[in-house]
A and B are shown apart, each in its own frame.
Chain A
Amino acid sequence: MSDASRGSDSPASAGSKARSASPAPGATTTSVRARRSISALRSPWLVVAAFLIALPYAPGLDGNFGRSLLSQMGIAAVFALSYTLLLGQTGLLSFGHAVYFGLGAYASIHLMRAVNGGLPIPMPLVPLAGAAAGLFFGMLFGLLTTRRAGVVFALISLGIGELVFAAMRILQGFSGGEEGITANRGAGPHPFGLTLGPQIQVYYVIVFWAVVAAALMAAFLRTPVGRMCNAVRDNPERAAFVGYDPVRVRFIAFSVAAMFAGLAGGLHALNYEIVASEAVGTARSGTVLLMAYIGGVHHFFGAVLGAIALTWLQVSLSDYTTAWQLYLGLFFIAAVLFAPGGLSGLLLMHRPILKTRAFASVLKAYTIAALPTVIAAVGAIALLEINYRRATQPEVGTQMRLFGINLDTSTPWPWIGAIALLAIGAWLLRIAAARVRSAWQAASEEARSAPRPRTTPS
């Protein structure tokens, strides 16, 4: 590398390169490797498909609850991916993305009712009506909102979200208001014996559309306009000086994102057979933002991780504790503070050190750190739960059961125990964190020095 560049008389040649600090040789090789692994990722669509087909037969997921959970994850994944097109890829922070989800859901539920009334359309195709509605309203509202990015866009999206939510509560005949309107996914033509009665059939329809949508969105990002979405996100002015109207690029990205949000809404209608005004609500817009952010906005498929994690938390945490929304909030704050790249960022962070010898010691340090983390978490959860119970349900008394232990919160012992666990856990965690840090340092130094041999300075 250095030989080649030293020979050239280009302006950015050897001299400035050598001075440009260290990342030069290492960074290039790693990203070449990254590019190869990305192109290798395109073929395993089949592997993914096989995995998704087998998933509802995995132990724990093979019941109605598991399959319903998987269905919800699939819907959330499509919705969160569509949101990533906006936030991660085009740099548009929307507080009203549920508008397109909800209107897509309404379009689909009305089509389902028409099918129930005799319209000969197979139910699995109904979500396409959601996509069409999402696209239509995306183009309509996109004309208003995409003229500006940044704060102006965010505020207008919030305004439109409130507007549509209010409209859905007023237009009872169309929306059914808070109660919503219902349809029957089973009453219609049954192509290939698809009655959509058992949850597994619904799951497969959702997975089919989710995979199609993910593939199309990934393909969109590889097209000229998809690449320009990134360019407009980074520097709209410069995009204008290379021939592209940034407003037009944003409008296209916004419409496409709305179309896939509408498809997710259509899947929602098919899955629940009911759509209510909350489908277009601000809470849902907030949830999809959390999913995209927790999953990581810098990597396209991070949204899928975020959708899976958040759906799981929403569904299962609410089984264990009434304070589940508090945990969700804490989880989000922790993600923003400690993992700005989200879950996908945390995972991808390990890619450079994956092949180093020191990686084993990193894993070991993680394992050691796991125990104090659990201890501290148990202490913190106990404190939270005791306080939450006393604050919200004083009428049930001071007896409560936590982690299988019966406690009387009128005595000081549960408090002392919880605080002690938290303190001991935190103290041990500090020690373990130092070990993680030094293991990381060793691994990243090894990774940096590994590809060097080719560039020995003369």
Chain B
Amino acid sequence: MTTTGPPSCALELSDVHMRFGATPVIRGVSLEVHEGERHAIIGPNGAGKSTLFNLISGRFAPTSGSIRLAGAPIEGREPYEINRRGLARSFQVTNIFPRLSVYENIRCSVLWSLGLKYSFLHDVAKLPQVNARTDEVLEQIGMTERRDTRAGVLAYAEQRALEIGITIAGDARVILLDEPTAGMSRAEAARAVTLIRAISTGRTLVMVEHDMSVVFDLADRISVLVYGEIVATDVPVRIRENATVREAYLGRSA
């Protein structure tokens, strides 16, 4: 491992820029996410939060700047390469395998991490490790009862839980969650928070979230992204007090 940042840095962005054509969307973001912390990114609509996630996870390549995962550069790599290096993400718009069962959704996410790659010499039903890990994740997201249901017909909150299940099943060290409680009722969101707390224990979590009660409940540190720039990164109490932040964001919504 070639470390440039401090060894406790799980994810490190330095001076990342991204333009769509002539429009700058991310304008020089630098961010250090510590090993094991729960880091929330907040900001108004259109600030570039999802774009930032897309850059980190490999959906887009940044125009310039560097992104390091546990010290190793990952910017511009393919999503599957970044995933294999230990980063997994969920999506704001539910992104599951609709025609596969709940069980198979999770199992697909387990396969690579257990070293099975493109194997055509194993029968998946006869891989105890794979099935044990799949059962464990199902248990964790509370969907054991629904294992044989087609993912496409699940209720919305269940699909969101499955989305998180797919994200964590590969046992990635760094987890990105994009608006995990969006569109949920208060009760559903509360259950989602419990789940996120449980699955992020021992891992590094970065989340984009609009619900401020969720953010202040979960996050160890918060970064505020406004118009493609990070205007503040601090612990929740201090973010609440920060005048710039209040003006830019919290003043209007919280």
Contact = CB atoms under 8 A, between A and B. Distances in A.
Interface of A: 1, 4-5, 8-13, 15-17, 19-21, 23-24, 27-28, 31-32, 34-35, 219-220, 222-228, 230-231, 233-235, 237-245, 248-249, 252, 256
A423 to B, nearest CB: 42
A455 to B, nearest CB: 11
A10 B123 contact: no
Interface stretch (B35-43, B142-150, B206-214, B239-247): B142-150
A42 to B, nearest CB: 10
A19 B89 CA distance: 28
B109 A226 contact: no
A256 B155 CA distance: 36
21 contacts: A10-B141, A10-B191, A11-B188, A24-B146, A28-B145, A31-B149, A34-B148, A223-B124, A224-B122, A226-B120, A234-B99, A234-B100, A235-B95, A237-B95, A239-B108, A241-B57, A242-B109, A242-B166, A244-B80, A244-B118, A249-B118
Interface string B124-140: 11000000000000000
The 5 closest A-B pairs by CB, nearest first: A10-B142, A243-B112, A20-B155, A11-B191, A31-B148
A24 B95 CA distance: 21
Interface string B66-85: 00000000000011100110
Interface string B172-203: 00000000000000011001101100000000
A300 to B, nearest CB: 14
Nearest to A246: B80
Contacts of B12: none
Interface in B87-109: 88-89, 91, 95-101, 104, 107-109
A352 B112 CA distance: 35
B49 to A, nearest CB: 18
A227 B80 contact: no
Contacts of A219: 123
A231 B84 CA distance: 17
A23 to B, nearest CB: 6
Nearest to A249: B118
A222 B142 contact: no
B194 A9 contact: yes
Contacts of A4: 145
Contact of A12 (B57, B99, B143, B148): B143
Interface string B9-38: 000000000000000000000000000000
A20 B97 CA distance: 19
B206 to A, nearest CB: 15
A227 B117 CA distance: 11
A241 B170 CA distance: 10
B154 interface: yes
B123 A228 contact: no
A5 B154 CA distance: 16
Contacts of A9: 191, 194
A175 to B, nearest CB: 32
A233 B100 CA distance: 10
A11 B118 contact: no
Contacts of B143: 10, 12
B111 interface: yes
Given A225-B119, A234-B100, A243-B84, A12 B146 contact: yes
B161 interface: yes
Nearest to B87: A241
B148 A32 contact: yes
Given A11-B195, A12-B161, A242-B83, A223 B97 contact: no
B107 A5 contact: no
Contacts of B121: 223
Contacts of B113: 243
A109 B239 CA distance: 77
Contacts of B195: 10-11
Contacts of A19: 155
